[in-house]
Amino acid sequence: MIDFSVAIRLYNGALVLPRILEALKAQVISDSINWEVIIVDNNSVDGTVDIVREYQQTWTLCPLRYVLETRQGASFARNRAILEARGTWIGFLDDDNIPASTWVQAAYEFGCAHPQAAAFGGQIHPNYEMTPPANFERIAPFIPVVERDETICFTTGWRAMSNLVPPGAGLVILRQVWLEYVPYPLRLRGPVGDALHLKGEDVEALLYLKKAGWEIWFNPLMHIEHQIPGWRFERRYLLRFFHGIGLSKYVTRMVCITPWKRPLWVLLFMANDSRKLLLHLVKHYRHLHRDVVSAAELQLLISSLLSPFYTWQKSLSGNRETLAARFQPTNDRKPKNDLTKQSTALSNCLNSNK
């Protein structure tokens, strides 16, 4: 029986994977804990599999397994890891997360001490490639950077009334509970390659666990180091990043709300978003062009306000495609990739005849 599975989700992570595996080799773990490492390759093209095969030849600590998930998207990779894992608990590491030497031990002990916990996160310490922009601390939790010393339960007190949950980086989950209460597929797929417009899948999933009555915690004894490259401070990236977070707000906000109450809550959320947007403009409009943090916050507010319309538009588009496919003659239903190949072949033929 496996007690704890470490799941590493990667997309083109050949350069960073060795550092993560070396950190796992240095784990200080009790001999009584049976653990494994699973690497979920989200369709990489940079030789990630070769790095894994090289480590598998000399790896003796625990099972080191490789899984290829060809459907790109963070939620697809996470779900594949959950299905493949054999551990009671699963701890997730992204390709820019380096665990401290006590991370696995601290996670397993916390899980055993909190049997009603379905998920918990830990401290996320930044390793900046360059100095962050001014006022970066205002948006650091989204990156994420989380540094606090107190143990927190997100499902009791005032936090139970909010959608506050730990970030997905370094998240530990109780596998069987996740399989029972988190629907699949989620509405939010998470980042797909370099695309950022469907972020928030980890928040959506955790809110389903909260809705089911399970506890969600923050464990300050778990530590990971988050590698943050300089390009993540660029204005263009931050605006795209917060645009994606904002567009996911409608989905995450509606998870715990009874369907018949949702129209009223949408209006209330939009009114509050509008109020925040106006206050932000009044306070920061003079330096939005030079203050990237204020610009990122503005983008988050705008996209949050627009998130219901974005989600409804996506739903309507999906319904139209489903109806069109349903009423299409069977003989005309060709896979999209076949049609693409035929189109490419025809184009090549036409070009060759020019």
Residue 264: the pLDDT is 97
Judged against a pLDDT cut of 90, whether residue 293 lies above it is answered with: yes
Residue 144: asked if its preceding bond is cis (omega within 30°), the reply is yes
The type of residue at 4 is F
Query: Which residues, 6 or more positions from 69, have their beta carbon under 8 angstroms from its beta carbon?
Result: 40, 41, 42, 43, 76, 77, 80
Rounded-to-10 torsion of CA 140, 203, 75, 37: 70
Judged against a pLDDT cut of 80, whether residue 325 lies above it is answered with: no
Q: Which of helix, strand or coil describes residue 68? A: strand
Residue 328: the pLDDT is 57
- 95 φ/ψ sector (left φ>0, alpha ψ -120 to 50, else beta): alpha
Query: What is the rounded CA–CA span in Å between residue 307 and residue 200?
Result: 12
Residue 345: the pLDDT is 46
Mean per-residue pLDDT over the chain, rounded: 90
Residue 253: the pLDDT is 97
- 46 φ/ψ sector (left φ>0, alpha ψ -120 to 50, else beta): alpha
Query: Which residues, 6 or more positions from 261, have their beta carbon under 8 angstroms from its beta carbon?
Result: none
How many helices and strands, by DSSP H and E, does the chain display? 11, 9
Percent over 70 (pLDDT), the chain: 88
Residue 185: asked if its preceding bond is cis (omega within 30°), the reply is yes
State both tokens at 112: 């055993």
User: 176, 162 in Cβ contact below 8 A?
Assistant: no
Query: What is the rounded CA–CA span in Å between residue 160 and residue 205?
Result: 16
Q: Which of helix, strand or coil describes residue 8? A: strand
Q: Residue 193: which pLDDT band, with cuts at 50, 70 and 90?
A: low
- DSSP summary character for residue 131: P
Please count the other Cβ atoms lying within 10 Å of the Cβ belonging to residue 63.
14
pTM, to two decimals: 0.87
Residue 317: the pLDDT is 80
Alpha-carbon separation of residue 169 from 123, 143, 198, 206, 259 (angstroms): 10, 10, 17, 13, 30
Q: What is the mean pLDDT of residues 289-317?
A: 94
Sketch out the chain's domains with CATH numbers.
Answer: 2-230 (3.90.550.10), 247-326 (no CATH)
- Smallest CA-to-CA distance from 244 within 145, 142, 166 is with 142
